[in-house]
Amino acid sequence: MMIVCCQRILAACIAALFLLAAPIAAIAAMAPQTMIGVAMIPHEGRDARWWRLFNALEFAPQLARMRACLARPDACDAPALRAWREDAARAGGDPLRLARAVSRRLGYVEDRTGHWLGPVDAYARGGDCEDHAVAKMASLLAVGVPETRLFVVVLRARDPRRRDHAVLAFAGPGGWRYLDMNDGGERSAAWIARRYRADIAYRADGRVFRAI
Rounded distance between C-alpha atoms, residue 70 and residue 91, angstroms: 13
Residue 104 within a domain:
yes
Q: Please give the residue that has the higher pLDDT: either 7 or 18.
A: 7
Q: Is this structure's pTM higher than 0.85?
A: no
Question: What is the tally of structural domains in the chain?
Answer: 1
> Is residue 25 in a domain?
no
Q: Is residue 118 part of a domain?
A: yes
Question: Residue 116 sits in which domain range?
Answer: 34-211
Q: Let me know if residue 6 belongs to a domain.
A: no
- Whether 96 maps to a domain, the answer reads yes
Domain assignment present for 128: yes
CA distance 202 to 39: 14
Would you place residue 57 in the very low, low, confident or very high pLDDT band (cuts 50, 70, 90)? low
- CATH code of the domain covering residue 172: 3.10.620.30
User: Tens digits of per-residue pLDDT, 30-49?
Assistant: 677 888 888 889 887 677 77
Residue 16 belongs to some domain of the structure: no
Q: Is residue 123 part of a domain?
A: yes
Q: What is the DSSP string of 134-167?
A: HHHHHHHHHTT--GGGEEEEEEEESSTTSPPEEE
